[in-house]
C-alpha cells in the first residue's frame, strides 16, 4: 500500500469535505473558500468522523501511483481552504523593480521594456519595495498548484545567473555561485 495514500487526512474545524459519486468530484470547503478535484472513476473517497481516506481499486502500478497523488491533492486542498498558501519572490539586480496594480504585475528586469504579467483573480498579489532592500513579490491564495505555477512563471522571466546572482529567486533560496574568469589566474 502507498505510504502516503494510506494515511488519513484529518479535517480541521470549519472545513468540510464531500465526495459526489456520480461526477467523481471531491469538494473541500473552508473559511478561506472552496476547491474541487475530479478523480479517476475507480478511486473511492470515504469521509467520516472528521477524516478523509482515499482507497484504490487494485494493486496495479498506475493505481498505486495515483493513490498517493490523489491523497496529496486532497490534503493540499484542506490546507489551502483552512490556512492558505503564500509564496515570496525576491528581485536581485541593479534597477530591478516590481509594482502591482490590481492583478497586473509590472516588472523592470533590465530589458529595454517593462514586462507585464496578468495574475489570476483567485490570487492576492503584492509588490513591496523598501529603501535599501530588494523588491519582494508576494502571492497568496488557497490553490497550491496555481501559486506554484504563477511563481515559476515569474521566476522564469529572469533566471538567476550563477556569477553575480542576479535574477528572480524565492526568498531564502540558495544559489550556487561560480568563481568566474578572475579565479583562473
pLDDT digits (tens, 9 = 90+) for 90-109: 999 998 999 999 899 999 99
Q: How much is the pLDDT for 14?
A: 92
Task: Check whether 184 has a pLDDT greater than 70.
Answer: no
The top-level CATH class assigned to 85-181 is alpha beta
pTM, entire model: 0.88
* DSSP characters over 101-158: ETTEEEEE-SSSS-EEEEPPTTSEEEEE--TTS--EEEEEES-HHHHHHHHHHHHHTS
- Cα separation, 173 vs 175, whole angstroms: 6
If one counts every other C-beta atom within 10 angstroms of the C-beta of residue 13, the result is 8
How far lies 168's CA from each of 51, 78, 89, 130, in Å?
39, 30, 7, 17
Q: What is the CATH number assigned to the segment(s) 9-82?
A: 3.90.930.12
Question: What is the pLDDT of the chain when averaged over all its residues?
Answer: 92
Q: Tell me: the pLDDT tens digits for 29-65? A: 999 999 999 998 889 899 988 899 999 888 888 888 8
Task: Give me the residue spans of the domains in the chain.
Answer: 9-82, 85-181
Amino acid at each position: 500500500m502507498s505510504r502516503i495514500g494510506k494515511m488519513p487526512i484529518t479535517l480541521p474545524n470549519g472545513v468540510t469535505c464531500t465526495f459526489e459519486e456520480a461526477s467523481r468530484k471531491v469538494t473541500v470547503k473552508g473559511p478561506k473558500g472552496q476547491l474541487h478535484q475530479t478523480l479517476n472513476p475507480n478511486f473511492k473517497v470515504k469521509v467520516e468522523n472528521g477524516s478523509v481516506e482515499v482507497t484504490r481499486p487494485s494493486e496495479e502500478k498506475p493505481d498505486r501511483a495515483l493513490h498517493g497523488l490523489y491523497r496529496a491533492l486532497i490534503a493540499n486542498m484542506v490546507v489551502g481552504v483552512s490556512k492558505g498558501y503564500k509564496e515570496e519572490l525576491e528581485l536581485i539586480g541593479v534597477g530591478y523593480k516590481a509594482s502591482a496594480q490590481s492583478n497586473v504585475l509590472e516588472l523592470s528586469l533590465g530589458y529595454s521594456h517593462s514586462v507585464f504579467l496578468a495574475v489570476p483573480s483567485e490570487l492576492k498579489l503584492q509588490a513591496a519595495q523598501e529603501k535599501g532592500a530588494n523588491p519582494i513579490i508576494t502571492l497568496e491564495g488557497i490553490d497550491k498548484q496555481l501559486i506554484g505555477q504563477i511563481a515559476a512563471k515569474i521566476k522564469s522571466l529572469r533566471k538567476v545567473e550563477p556569477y553575480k546572482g542576479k535574477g528572480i529567486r524565492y526568498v531564502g533560496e540558495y544559489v550556487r555561485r561560480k568563481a568566474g574568469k578572475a579565479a583562473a589566474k
